[in-house]
Amino acid sequence: MAELPKIVRQRLRAGGGEVHPDADLLTAFAEKALGERERAQVLEHLAACAACREVVALALPQEEGEQARAAPQGMRGWVLRWQTAAALATVAVAAIALLTIPDAYFRARAPVQVAKAPPGQSAAAREENSAAANQPAHSEADAARKQAEASTTVTRNKKEAVVQGAGEGGAVSAVLADAERGRRDESKDKLGRVLPAPPAKEGQVSTFTAEGAKQVPPPAPPATYDLKTAQAAPAAPTYQAKAQSAGMEKKQAVGGLVAGAAQQQSESGAGKGTATAAPVAADQAQVAGPAQAGPAQAPARAANETVQVMAETVAVAPIWRTTAAGGLERSHDAGRNWHAVPVSAGAVWNAVSSVGEHVWAGGHRQRTAVLYHSGDGGAHWTRLEFTGPAGAAPAADVVALNFTDAQHGVMTVVAAEDPRLRQIWTTADGGHTWTAPPVH
Amino acid sequence: MPHKPAVDLRRLEALFQELFRKSEGEQYGLTAVDFFRILAEVGAKYLPASAGETEARALYESLRAEELALARGCAAGNERAWEVFLTRFRAKLYDAARAITRDDASGRELADSLYASLYGTEMREGVRVSKLTFYMGRGSLEGWLRTVLAQEYVNQYRKRRREVSLDEHLEQGEQFAEPATAGGNPGTLPADPATGADPRLEAAADEALASLDAEERFILASYYLDGRTLAQIARTLGVHESTISRKLEKLAQELRKKTLAALERRGMSRRQAEEALEADVRDLSVDVRGRLAQEMSARPFQARRSRE
């Protein structure tokens, strides 16, 4: 860029001593919401006021690219490698499946692991039936059902596309394009999901539109759990964000991606569904690959497993976490998207534990420990007026919580008398009364 | 200073009703009258005295009615409003603060301090005043929160700079304001040994800058003074980066040409004018350092006093 004479810089710097525009005007300027007259006034001021220019620059929302750049290089490399591997595996599995599986295979074969359901019944129908049986009509349940339907639509579309493509001979390029789209979409999503929490990322979980500031409502808790998730959930009542990537069952992670895809589908129309399906297929291929029986049937089974798992794992047990800012968040798609859950105004949450539909959240409000419980997956909350062990000082903060079932749990509290003093309490009545564990 | 706009707001009643309906203010404890009062306040603040009905309509239609009602509901202590506010903005607020400070601890501190003022720790005439009272709905509430955070951060930074050590000030060479210079003879150079700046240079530069519009000066200042990137400037103005690049290139050449022409009009030959511009860039830094040393030895305590 051409150099500017120093004297011109000096004179450019002069001025800016007038009254500053208020935060509303600066915001509206940055959001291009001002009329010509006001915009000209604000620009006139900004041209001469370094402080206001600084404010406008600092207040610009972070871009996705900036967040990605803030992520550690090593982790980014891992994600990219994973995505490349996933895309390649998808293409390989899909191509082999296309060449070897007759159309009838898809039509005739019933899902193995959901065999209890009537043959031919779709995942959405199963979901609907069990939701109707287990839970009264509820808006969140409806949302979950819609998600399930959307995901099944994705699955069906994918299957049909694959079958149809095989007949037309253009399937490989279609799948390639699909995988490529999936890789591109996933790279954003993966960065958002796996990388260690650059702050602005959590803020992007809920969709905020500039126009109407309408928030997409958080996805509903699943009305039912299928066989797999029902097995997985009680074993690990509380999943923290970090634990997911390290130790969570693969299939549950797949389910999360599917649910995410379903959500995208339902939010943005039919065009995007297949894009996110590709990495799912690859992921599933990694899961199912080693367990295949015969070499001839392996690719076919892998492809079918993909379809099957997508249909089965739409409903995933919600997972919970507390944020660095003291908020409480829930994810219905294995940590892909997080949504803030309001519990009680003014409280700061440090710990959360869940067992099925039971959730406990602990923290503090104005130097007093608070513990809340929800028996319906976070829809309604009740404050537990708990009592500590006899003689124990009142707790100032709850810093850790772990319930092994609906009654038994362990809680770490900080004593009000000395914040450095931590005590471990246990409960056998769901958190109403607490005792100090016996010293051996 | 707020004033009463010329336009008769009663003619906008239907629009106000519609905005109130859109705002869903009732759920935050606002009545239609409360909301109309807020709208009137917005008009008094932003509509010029000469504004007609069309301008008033445009202003009100551009407002974020729902977020305005939410903010005012919070300011009034409505529980439902706070619940919604915390759900929607709490995490974003902390994220924005961390992005501004680029540091977790400072970000949290900054966000906490804003939170306190949003809740209303400040008392005026015995009444708790929430900072959300000042939100007028011109931009998004999320953007407004980021702007308020940024303002707070810049204020804190300025405050810290006032407390910064003398050595740091000296390193930056900022505490010595340029003395006013007297007019020099035509055709001669530096009148002031401190800056090496011929007063005609300043006048010529001012003339050249005055010929630019506000946006052009904003671009120049952002790039050359603040060190913003082309991408940052482009995002602020909502244009493509290459547009800014082209503009900057053109503006720098244009400024140089206009400054030279202005110097020539002030009695310099073309060569002298060119030398003046070139010499200025080199000599200023040398002279500032020289002036710095003189000032230090001559007035060691005065500088400290002025700092206090």
d(CA B112, CA A30): 24
User: Stretch B75-81: mean pLDDT, rounded?
Assistant: 90
Using the beta-carbon criterion (under 8 Å), do A213 and B141 form an inter-chain contact?
Answer: yes
The confidence score (pLDDT) of residue B38 equals 93
Chain centroid, CA A221 distance in Å: 13
Residues of A in contact with B245 (CB under 8 A): 1
Which of B110, B236, B253 is the mutation pick for testing A, counting most A CBs within 10 A?
B236
Q: Is B282 exposed, middle or buried (0-12, 13-18, 19+ CB in 10 A)?
A: exposed
CATH number for the domain spanning B276: value is: 1.10.10.10
d(CA A290, CA A197): 33
Q: Which residue of B has its CA nearest to A338?
A: B91
Which of these three, B138, B169, B187, is where a domain ends?
Answer: B138
Using the beta-carbon criterion (under 8 Å), do A55 and B147 form an inter-chain contact?
Answer: yes
B144 in a structural domain? no
Using the beta-carbon criterion (under 8 Å), do B218 and A43 form an inter-chain contact?
Answer: yes
Using the beta-carbon criterion (under 8 Å), do B205 and A58 form an inter-chain contact?
Answer: no
Break chain A down into helix, strand, coil percent, rounded to 5.
50, 15, 35
Residues of B in contact with A33 (CB under 8 A): 62, 138-139
Higher pLDDT, B9 or A115: B9
Residue B120 has pLDDT above 60, yes or no: yes
In total, how many domains does chain B have? 2
Q: What is the 3-state secondary structure (H, E, C) of B64-97?
A: CHHHHHHHHHHHCCCHHHHHHHHHHHHHHHHHHH
Candidate from B95, B154, B236 with C-beta closest to A60 = B236
Q: Which residue of B has its CA nearest to A1?
A: B249
B104 in a structural domain? yes
The confidence score (pLDDT) of residue A31 equals 92
B111 in a structural domain? yes
The confidence score (pLDDT) of residue A302 equals 47
Beta bridge partners of A409: A403, A427
Residues of A in contact with B66 (CB under 8 A): 212-213
Q: Name the minimum distance, in Å, from the CA of B94 to any CA of chain A.
A: 6
Degrees to nearest 5, angle at CA B34 with B31 and B39: 125
Candidate from A2, A46, A329 with C-beta closest to B253 = A2
B88 band by pLDDT with thresholds 50, 70 and 90: very high
Does the pTM of the predicted model rise above 0.80?
no
Place of tokens 């919580």: A401
Using the beta-carbon criterion (under 8 Å), do A4 and B252 form an inter-chain contact?
Answer: yes
The domain in which residue B54 lies consists of: 9-138
d(CA B204, CA B207): 5
Which of A58, A67, A337, A380 is the mutation pick for testing B, counting most B CBs within 10 A?
A58
d(CA A27, CA B136): 11
Candidate from A24, A40, A200 with C-beta closest to B95 = A200
B226 in a structural domain? yes
The confidence score (pLDDT) of residue B244 equals 93
Classified by CATH at the fold level, domain A342-427 comes out as Thrombin, subunit H (2.40.10)
B166 in a structural domain? no
B179 in a structural domain? no
The confidence score (pLDDT) of residue A365 equals 82
Contact between residue A356 and residue A236 where contact means Cβ atoms under 8 Å apart = no
d(CA B164, CA B167): 8
Q: Which residue of A has its CA nearest to B214?
A: A44
Which of these three, B119, B138, B157, is where a domain ends?
Answer: B138
Lowest-confidence pick of A170-184, B23-37, B107-121, B134-148: A170-184
DSSP codes, A139-153: HHHHHHHHHHHHHHH
Per-residue pLDDT of chain A (440 residues; tens, 9 = 90+): 667 777 777 777 766 556 789 999 999 999 999 988 899 999 999 988 888 999 999 998 876 545 444 443 333 444 445 566 667 777 777 666 666 555 544 444 434 333 333 334 444 444 444 443 344 434 444 444 444 444 434 334 443 433 343 333 343 344 334 433 443 333 333 323 233 333 333 333 232 223 333 333 333 333 333 333 333 333 333 333 333 333 333 333 333 333 333 343 333 333 333 333 333 333 333 333 333 334 444 444 544 554 444 444 334 577 888 887 788 888 877 777 788 888 888 888 888 988 888 899 988 887 788 889 998 888 888 888 777 776 665 677 888 888 888 888 888 887 766 666 777 788 888 888 888 765 54
Residues of B in contact with A5 (CB under 8 A): 205, 255-256, 259, 277, 280-281
Contact between residue B47 and residue B59 where contact means Cβ atoms under 8 Å apart = yes
d(CA A241, CA A239): 6
The confidence score (pLDDT) of residue A382 equals 87
- Write b or e for each residue in A88-112: b if 16 or more Cβ atoms lie within 10 A of its Cβ, otherwise e: ebbbbbbeebbeebeeebbeeeebe
Residues of A in contact with B214 (CB under 8 A): 40, 43-44, 46-47
Q: Name the minimum distance, in Å, from the CA of A150 to any CA of chain B.
A: 26
Backbone conformation region of residue A408, classed left if phi is above 0, alpha if psi is from -120 to 50, else beta? beta
Q: Which residue of A has its CA nearest to B281?
A: A6
Candidate from B138, B197, B205 with C-beta closest to A33 = B138
Q: What is the 3-state secondary structure (H, E, C) of A69-82?
A: HHCCHHHHHHHHHH
CB atoms within 10 A of CB A55: 28
Residues of B in contact with A329 (CB under 8 A): 91
Contact between residue B151 and residue B113 where contact means Cβ atoms under 8 Å apart = no
User: Stretch B41-67: mean pLDDT, rounded?
Assistant: 90
Q: Are residues B116 and B35 part of one domain? A: yes
B267 in a structural domain? yes
Domain ranges of chain A: 6-61, 76-193+215-234+242-312, 342-427
Using the beta-carbon criterion (under 8 Å), do A345 and B79 form an inter-chain contact?
Answer: yes
Residues of B in contact with A206 (CB under 8 A): 88
- Write b or e for each residue in A122-158: b if 16 or more Cβ atoms lie within 10 A of its Cβ, otherwise e: bbbbbbbebbeeebeebebbebbbbbbbbbbbbbbeb
**At A415, phi and psi to the nearest 5?**
-75, 140
User: Stretch B138-160: mean pLDDT, rounded?
Assistant: 89
Candidate from A2, A8, A345 with C-beta closest to B83 = A345
Lowest-confidence pick of A45-49, A157-161, B115-119, B161-165: A157-161
What is the radius of gyration, based on Cα positions, of chain A? 26
d(CA A51, CA A23): 13
d(CA A97, CA A299): 6
The confidence score (pLDDT) of residue B230 equals 93
B273 in a structural domain? yes
B199 band by pLDDT with thresholds 50, 70 and 90: confident
The confidence score (pLDDT) of residue A66 equals 52
Place of tokens 């249909």: A311
Provide the ipTM.
0.78
Contact between residue A327 and residue B90 where contact means Cβ atoms under 8 Å apart = yes
CA distance readout (Å), A347 to A365, A370, A408: 5, 8, 24
Contact between residue B181 and residue B199 where contact means Cβ atoms under 8 Å apart = yes
Give the residue ranges of DSSP H helices in B266-299: 270-298
Place of tokens 């206001």: A52
DSSP codes, A273-327: HHHHHHHHHHHHHHHHGGG---TTTHHHHHHHHHHHHHHHTTS---EEEE-TTS-
Q: Which residue of B has its CA nearest to A343?
A: B83
Q: Name the minimum distance, in Å, from the CA of B33 to any CA of chain A.
A: 23
